[in-house]
Structure 1
């Protein structure tokens, strides 16, 4: 099964992360973790995201689309990066997360629908 791992960040951390003296060691540790995931055949894709100040949010309503420029300081949670992993189960994905170099924050794991699940229409929750 494929799992998307969403790495959440805090708006306060977004602008200071690369100024933090721990950032280089954090990035080095994350690089080692990514290497471990790759060698195990778990990581299919993964990227860090630029700060929300470089982003846009597009909302849709009865008046049509509305575009808001970043930063999104009013947000309580932002996505700072993601992985796509190939694992046997959600439990395996959680075990990999527990081995990661995380000190704080939240990671969200979501199963990715497979094409075959759409054969009979919209997939049903498992």
Structure 2
């Protein structure tokens, strides 16, 4: 099972405040633990929303909304993508994580959909297309 561990933004992360050396070192150690356990698929920090944009969809219309966005508690400051056996195992990994912010913070854990989750709606043709895309992503550039 794949899980996305979503680091929620804080006022400091949205202000662009960079982490201290001690936190960077602790995160590096944690990331090494994830890699050594064979569970880390990806993980990155994100720039504040002031350097981003949203695209709003309404029917066929697209509207671009430039950041920053006001609701900090709804924003993401970073993520990990891990592959583990269960939600309980994902929770245990998150509990071992250093606090990603210098204040109170949250990490949300969300399971990633797998092909089998979509049932019959995910036709053999769509599965084949998904496999082609995955092989292109995995191919070295």
Q: TM-score of the superposition, structure 1-length normalised?
A: 0.83
Answering whether residue 79 of structure 2 is matched by residue 89 of structure 1, we say no
Q: Tell me, yes or no, if structure 1 residue 40 matches structure 2 residue 40.
A: no
- In proportion to residue count, which structure has more strand? 1
More RCO (CA 8 Å, sep 6+): 1
CA drift at 1:94: 0.5
Q: How many residues align?
A: 118
Does residue 76 (structure 1) correspond to residue 59 (structure 2)? The answer is: no
Kept after mapping to 1: 8 A contact 2:16/2:47: no
How far 1:96 sits from its partner (Å)? 0.7
Aligned residue number for residue 58 of structure 2: 61
Is the Cα contact below 8 Å between 1:50 and 1:80 reproduced in 2?
Answer: yes
Aligned partner of residue 32 in structure 2, secondary structure: helix
Q: For 2:120, what is the secondary structure of its paired residue?
A: coil
Which has the larger share of helix? 2
Pair 1:76–1:15, CA change in 2 (3 A):
closer
State whether structure 2 residue 15 is matched by structure 1 residue 15.
yes
What per-residue deviation string (whole Å, max 9, x for no partner) do you get for residues 50-102 of structure 1? 11111001112258222111122x11321011111111110011011111101
> In structure 2, what is the equivalent of residue 118 of structure 1?
118
Q: Which residue of 2 aligns with 1:27?
A: 24
Cα distance in 2 for partners of 1:121, 1:42 equals 29
Cα RMSD (Å): 1.9
